[in-house]
Structure 1
Amino acid sequence: MIPCFFHPDQLAFKPVYEWAFGEKIDHPETTARAENILAALKARPELFEMRAPKAQPLSALRDAHNYNLLTLYNTARQLPEDETFYPSVFPRDPKTKGDPTTLRQAGCFCFDSGTPLNNRTFDAAAWSAACAYEGARLLKKGEHPVVYALSRPPGHHATKDHFGGYSYFNNSGIAARYLRRAGRVAVLDIDFHHGNGTQSMFYRDDKVLTISIHGDPGEFYPFYCGFPNETGSGRGEGYNLNFPLPTKITFEEWMQTLEQDALPAIENFAPDYLIVAAGFDTYRLDPIGDFEFFTADYTTLGARIAELGYPTLVVQEGGYYTPDLGANVAALLEGTSRLYNF
């Protein structure tokens, strides 16, 4: 069976709306996402084993993120139960450091207005990160070839110093930093949106290969990075690869980039561990993605990833068409299991 980590406190955080291009819209990152995934996994007890993660050590969060972020989230714990704070002022003066004990200065630590704070943010985000951390610990033991972290809220947009893109802690990055101590790590980000936070964390690192296949950042979030000329710097030069793709592409067209570019790079790097930052906003009905994947395509993709033969941690990222999200996640994980006696 595939161990799957989730903690019920991840459902306590319930953002209601966000500001997008000046408009107030329903927030896509709802608890229904995780609930739909949970239902799909629990319906297959012969394949998926649900586990609750242990609380990760504070050092794991501090190793990946500036302590100011933790302080800010802790400050948000003091908000009344029915109050949500949205950063709206984002200073550009580098001398403005910001006070994380004052929520009015939260824009110093954030890069968009769609990622709110309330008194449940810290707990939900910390348990989300704990799922990835615990999954990495289990993978390192070598007892399971594939482990799944149902990390919600997602994480691949969070940088060391800033939150945004519905991301508070970089779950995949925290797992990669843990596994990095034991060997080389490749992070394959298959979310529709570029994993800017993960890229920034390992941009100078030659022990972590980061690869992102995503929609054109000239048109889609995060807009300011995710272009092919971003290849790493210093010792990390050549260890960051971005493959932005045009809209409306089919799974078969997407797979050409995976087969011709991403997988050869991973195999050449020869990692000891593979982390898949698994976003499902590539699905054809997703409201904020624009690729043309079908549910069966995720099974094919999971099987192809498993063929690489690396111990693999699958970390949940995006995916916002809630009715089919659980089926899509289960399809990917089922695909990874086909080479093993699950």
Structure 2
Amino acid sequence: MKKEKTKIPVYFHTKQMEFHPKYEWALGNRIKHPESTKRAESIFKAIKSHKELFDLKEPERIPLASIRANHSYELVTLYNSAASLPDGQAFYPSVFPDKKKSRPDPTNIKHAGFYCFDSGTPLDSKTWLAASWSAASAYAAGEEIYKGRSSVAYAISRPPGHHASKDSYGGYCYFNNAAIVAKLLKKKGRVVILDIDFHHGNGTQEVFYKDDKVLTISIHGDPRDYFPFFWGFSSEIGAGKGEGYNLNVILPPKTKFPAYKKALLETVFPTIKRFEPDYLILSAGFDTYKLDPVGDFLLETSDFEKIGKLISSLDLPTVVLQEGGYFTKDLGKNAVSLLRGFV
């Protein structure tokens, strides 16, 4: 009798779609917000059309303790404060004070700029709802791996998470989903977080910068030219116990698959193997796609399957978390392509 292929569990909750940022300020210009619900819709539709590959599931509510273990009381309070805003009203921070000289009040939405590092990540009455269910999807995918039910699991985490730190948000990110999953998996072993989004995962790096039990690796565009600008340089290697446990790999504009593969095989994978992790978390951004409006690499849809196969060859239980990717027409196809590499 032919053995049936194991399907990849995929987690998503429709409440993640209730947050609708309309615009952002980018380099002084007001533009249509890239982090729209169309992103999740594209992925969800593609996943549903491949029932032979995926088992689509709805997560349970994330334990509040798992959020509080990863994010400060003040940040959580700020999001709760935003929940009381009138429906349809969004707050965009425009004042970003010197943190050493400020005494913020997280119950005052006007003080959001103390906790935010850009002007493109708004707060409204649905931010907490969508972000907490995004974290719930990530947590549920993490539990699949933690409990040994699957060797790979995927969360359509929208909003994304890798720019959020313990006490700050930005880059369209509110809760750091990778950090939440890593804290769970850490209970059983060593964890590597590999971030393949076009933009550096500054929040993830900050959370684990002094941690020697979590190896953080980000492969991205040059932060001198691309968001988040202040972080993501090769000199950032960790501190204290975490020194040597953070790696940033910068690739040039117009990078194609051969150069990307070379970076994985010659730099990233040897670092991971030396660390000898028990689990892998993949922060999967698809803004490395050739048509993405906010990235500058030239990866094809078929390249993502090759990347998935390369990463799966590490033979580690893997949680795949959705990060960036803003060419919505092909986003679903690109996500499926990457996941095919793990089948």
Shorter-normalised TM range: over 0.9
C-alpha RMSD of matched pairs (Å): 0.7
- Give matches, 1:124-203, under 5 Å: 124-203=130-209
Query: Which AA in structure 2 matches 1:145?
Result: S
Gaps of 5+ in 1: 338-342
- 3-state DSSP of counterpart to 2:101: coil
Q: What is the alpha-carbon distance in structure 2 between the residues aligned to residue 216 and residue 90 of structure 1?
A: 24
Corresponding residue of 2:29:
23
Match of 1:11 among 13, 17, 32: 17
Corresponding residue of 1:340:
none
Corresponding residue of 1:82:
88
TM-score in terms of structure 2 length: 0.97
Using the TM superposition, give the Cα deviation of residue 97 of structure 1 relative to its aligned residue in structure 2, in angstroms. Answer: 3.0
Match of 1:267 among 263, 273, 279: 273
Using the TM superposition, give the Cα deviation of residue 138 of structure 1 relative to its aligned residue in structure 2, in angstroms. Answer: 1.2
Using the TM superposition, give the Cα deviation of residue 93 of structure 1 relative to its aligned residue in structure 2, in angstroms. Answer: 4.2
- Give matches, 1:57-68, under 5 Å: 57-68=63-74
Corresponding residue of 2:98:
92
Q: What is the alpha-carbon distance in structure 2 between the residues aligned to residue 143 and residue 104 of structure 1?
A: 45
Corresponding residue of 1:52:
58
Gaps of 5+ in 2: 1-6
Q: Residue by residue, what CA displacement relative to the aligned partner does 1:84-115 show, whole Å, maximum 9, x if unpaired?
A: 11011000141313111001110011000000
Corresponding residue of 2:289:
283
Q: Residue by residue, what CA displacement relative to the aligned partner does 1:273-316 show, whole Å, maximum 9, x if unpaired?
A: 00000000000000000000000000111111111100000000
Q: What is the alpha-carbon distance in structure 2 between the residues aligned to residue 174 and residue 93 of structure 1?
A: 25
Does residue 237 in structure 1 map to residue 243 in structure 2?
Answer: yes
Q: Residue by residue, what CA displacement relative to the aligned partner does 1:128-162 show, whole Å, maximum 9, x if unpaired?
A: 01111111111111121110011000000001110
Using the TM superposition, give the Cα deviation of residue 194 of structure 1 relative to its aligned residue in structure 2, in angstroms. Answer: 0.1
Corresponding residue of 1:307:
313
Q: What is the alpha-carbon distance in structure 2 between the residues aligned to residue 282 and residue 251 of structure 1?
A: 10
Q: What is the alpha-carbon distance in structure 2 between the residues aligned to residue 251 and residue 67 of structure 1?
A: 42
Query: Which AA in structure 2 matches 1:156?
Result: H
Query: Which AA in structure 2 matches 1:293?
Result: L
Corresponding residue of 2:122:
116
How many residues were matched structurally?
337
- 3-state DSSP of counterpart to 1:336: coil
With 44-53 and 280-289 compared, the bigger mean Cα shift is at: 44-53
Query: Which AA in structure 1 matches 2:111?
Result: Q
Q: What is the alpha-carbon distance in structure 2 between the residues aligned to residue 84 and residue 225 of structure 1?
A: 28
With 139-148 and 284-293 compared, the bigger mean Cα shift is at: 139-148
- 3-state DSSP of counterpart to 1:117: coil
Q: What is the alpha-carbon distance in structure 2 between the residues aligned to residue 172 and residue 255 of structure 1?
A: 23
Alpha carbons 2:99, 2:114 under 8 Å: kept:
no
**Structure 1 pair 93–314 and aligned structure 2 pair: CA distance change class (3 A):** closer
Q: Residue by residue, what CA displacement relative to the aligned partner does 1:224-245 show, whole Å, maximum 9, x if unpaired?
A: 0100000001100000000111
Query: Which AA in structure 2 matches 1:220?
Result: Y
Alpha carbons 2:160, 2:324 under 8 Å: kept:
yes
Q: Residue by residue, what CA displacement relative to the aligned partner does 1:35-65 show, whole Å, maximum 9, x if unpaired?
A: 0000000001111111011111111011111
**Structure 1 pair 170–233 and aligned structure 2 pair: CA distance change class (3 A):** same
Percent identical residues: 55
Q: What is the alpha-carbon distance in structure 2 between the residues aligned to residue 63 and residue 217 of structure 1?
A: 29
Q: Residue by residue, what CA displacement relative to the aligned partner does 1:192-251 show, whole Å, maximum 9, x if unpaired?
A: 000000000000000000000000000000000100000001100000000111101111
